[in-house]
Amino acid sequence: MSFDTLQDQIRAMKNPTVAGLDPKPEYVPPHILQACYEQYGATLEGAAEAVYRFNCGLMDALCGIVPAVKPQSAYYERLGWRGMEVLERTIRYAKEKGFFVIADVKRGDIGSTAQAYSEAWLGKTKVGDTELSAFGADCVTINGYMGSDAIKPFIDTCKAEDKCLFVLVKTSNPSSSELQDMVAGDRLVYKVMGDLTQRLGRDTAGKYGYTLTGAVVGATYPSDLRELRRRLEQTFFLVPGYGAQGGTADDVRFAFNKYGHGAIVNSSRGIMCAWQKTGRDGADYQQAAQDAAIAMRDDIKQFVTVV
Amino acid sequence: MSFDTLQDQIRAMKNPTVAGLDPKPEYVPPHILQACYEQYGATLEGAAEAVYRFNCGLMDALCGIVPAVKPQSAYYERLGWRGMEVLERTIRYAKEKGFFVIADVKRGDIGSTAQAYSEAWLGKTKVGDTELSAFGADCVTINGYMGSDAIKPFIDTCKAEDKCLFVLVKTSNPSSSELQDMVAGDRLVYKVMGDLTQRLGRDTAGKYGYTLTGAVVGATYPSDLRELRRRLEQTFFLVPGYGAQGGTADDVRFAFNKYGHGAIVNSSRGIMCAWQKTGRDGADYQQAAQDAAIAMRDDIKQFVTVV
């Protein structure tokens, strides 16, 4: 599904946010962990199953309110292949529930290796005479340090499968400045990456005017965000850094164009860990996540009129 | 295992090379694929099992000749969780056979997410009161576009587990110049990344003088390779680009210091696909791989005296 589909879903729900599914162990309510350890032992299988149940519970609570989910691959990989199996199931469940799925994998490799990654996450894998889906997400995050060789194979897969991607441009973390803010020629490095991203996607703009090559731009540097919004008019933004990392609704409003289009803001901790702030033991994690998601939507809506 | 261990193994075998395990489907001999499809069907499971058998056959043939193997994660991910299960088994088998294992994953993320990746690939995952190994490699490749936040958590894991890593510095692909060769301040971007890599590893040098933070430097830009060898005296190099990508023994010799230390050169296609050049149907893939590995060793040895 392309950014057109995502923008349609954002408009339908009047909510330009995505819920991160980053199941750190301490985010999972104790009663879920305990039940899975009793059934499967304190094993990678048990931990993975707990993650799956938590994810499904969260998606049941967020369905119809939040248009997209973004599983972060690292928290599944740390559980080995059991975690990857649960990541496959999580993506399948998300799609059944109608969520747009962004696989946050930040892969970056070249040529046929980049093609293999794009098959894994967005496309299909040829086995004998058949083509099979591996992870089957709608969208991925990728890293362009290796240049356009690392981006083009993903673009080919996106064109063939009507999918889309986000390239890391200006990230929300404190040390992002070390490389990304260096002056390279007449531009900063992150602007070089932003320009490359938009250029590689040219001629792929959909009905809202966005190419299939989006950009990750953090909420924690609002002036950079504002400047990139002006510079990259055809580029859809994924905006991390809202909430726990310090970005506010006042900061993220710069990610949207004058029609309130062109960006989606992520929250992971704020939604997944909402149950830790209710003073109860996690039995209410679904209600707490839903309340937090609605509060985030309304917080951002005050500045952004999505039409 | 650290770069000390790797350098010891290189010296013992008089062979500073690593065999890539990048099982593209067309690299796997037809008789292996056919047997697995008959047993498991033309499924992701069947394709994954074929990859495992091919990997084991290759490692049996290379054991004692080549000190290290480097599985490329993309070719396992494209087979979904079945591929990741086979990647776990491949790494386990490699370690049983005494290979130093470099997981070529090029992960790049920050903070607790980087920590989760380092647990997945190098460290241990805490489940309840126990600590379990997920993929359990000796070394990984990582991407530092996000800055030191993306590198430090891996360093912590490496220190705790006596392991090591390679940061992408100057890659071997044609478009690596687009970002990496830009002038950033008084240095090129790839030198900024190289300097950062060596600086973050300071105070971790082992008996051969190398920090646990190595660098990926391609064979296809030999003058850059020579300059980086001089600039980063304490940095161990992983050198892709030899053979199929055009790098020669004459090019890669610049990766080594005057003692013939400090680098390992990768070959994937040249070894895995050697059977395609013997005029037979792949039944001789082990002999062909061994012959190719020995030829590569001797090719590089003519310029490099490993002592």
- Give residue-wise pLDDT tens across range B17-63: 999 999 988 899 999 999 999 999 999 999 999 999 999 999 999 99
Nearest-by-CA chain A residue for B151 = A175
Q: Is B106 a catalytic residue?
A: yes
A307 falls within a domain: no
pLDDT tens-digit readout, A51-100: 999 999 999 999 999 999 999 999 999 999 999 999 999 999 999 999 99
Residue of higher predicted confidence among A195 and A304:
A195
Helix (H, G, I), strand (E, B) or coil at B191: helix
Is the model's pLDDT at B307 over the cut of 60? no
Strand B263-267 versus strand B237-239 pairing type: parallel
| Domain, as residue range, for B92 | 3-301
The sign one gets for the Cα dihedral A108, A76, B127, A24 is positive
Question: pLDDT category, A306, cuts 50, 70, 90?
Answer: low
B254 falls within a domain: yes
Q: Confirm if B271 and B292 have CB atoms less than 8 A apart.
A: yes
Question: pLDDT category, A108, cuts 50, 70, 90?
Answer: very high
The reply to whether residue A176 touches residue B146, judged by beta carbons under 8 angstroms, is yes
pLDDT of residue B306: 58
For the whole model, what pTM was predicted?
Answer: 0.97
B195 falls within a domain: yes
Tell me which of A113, A118, A168 to substitute to probe the interface with B (most B C-beta atoms closer than 10 Å): A113
The reply to whether residue B150 touches residue A75, judged by beta carbons under 8 angstroms, is no
The reply to whether residue B145 touches residue A117, judged by beta carbons under 8 angstroms, is no
Is the model's pLDDT at A269 over the cut of 70? yes
Which of B95, B97, B106, B301 is the catalytic position?
B106
Model-level ipTM above the cut of 0.90: yes
A203: left (phi over 0), alpha (psi -120 to 50) or beta: left
The reply to whether residue A120 touches residue B78, judged by beta carbons under 8 angstroms, is yes
**What residues of chain A lie within 8 A of the CB of B182, using their CB?**
184-185, 189, 192
pLDDT of residue B243: 85
Select the residue of A25, A80, A117 nearest B134 (Cβ to Cβ): A80
**What residues of chain B lie within 8 A of the CB of A179, using their CB?**
144-147, 184, 189, 192-193, 196
Is the model's pLDDT at A168 over the cut of 80? yes
% of chain B residues with pLDDT over 90? 92
pLDDT of residue A304: 79
B307 falls within a domain: no
Q: For residues A113 and B67, what is the distance between their CA atoms, to the nearest angstrom?
A: 24
pLDDT tens-digit readout, B130-161: 999 999 999 999 999 999 999 999 999 999 99
Q: For residues A295 and A15, what is the distance between their CA atoms, to the nearest angstrom?
A: 11
Judge residue B96's burial from the number of C-beta atoms within 10 Å of its C-beta, 0-12 exposed, 13-18 middle, 19 or more buried: exposed
The reply to whether residue B87 touches residue A107, judged by beta carbons under 8 angstroms, is no
The reply to whether residue B113 touches residue A42, judged by beta carbons under 8 angstroms, is no
- Which CATH number does the domain housing residue B67 bear? 3.20.20.70
pLDDT of residue A25: 86
Distances (CA, A) of A264 to A217, A238, A240, A254, B1: 10, 5, 9, 12, 42
Domain count, chain B: 1
**What residues of chain B lie within 8 A of the CB of A45, using their CB?**
none
pLDDT of residue B302: 81
B203: left (phi over 0), alpha (psi -120 to 50) or beta: left
Question: pLDDT category, B245, cuts 50, 70, 90?
Answer: confident
Classify residue B211 by its DSSP letter.
-
**What residues of chain A lie within 8 A of the CB of B147, using their CB?**
173-180
Select the residue of A113, A125, A185 nearest B183 (Cβ to Cβ): A185
B306 falls within a domain: no
Question: pLDDT category, A27, cuts 50, 70, 90?
Answer: very high
* Across B163-167, B248-252, B300-304, least confident range: B300-304
- CB count within 10 Å of CB B68 equals 26
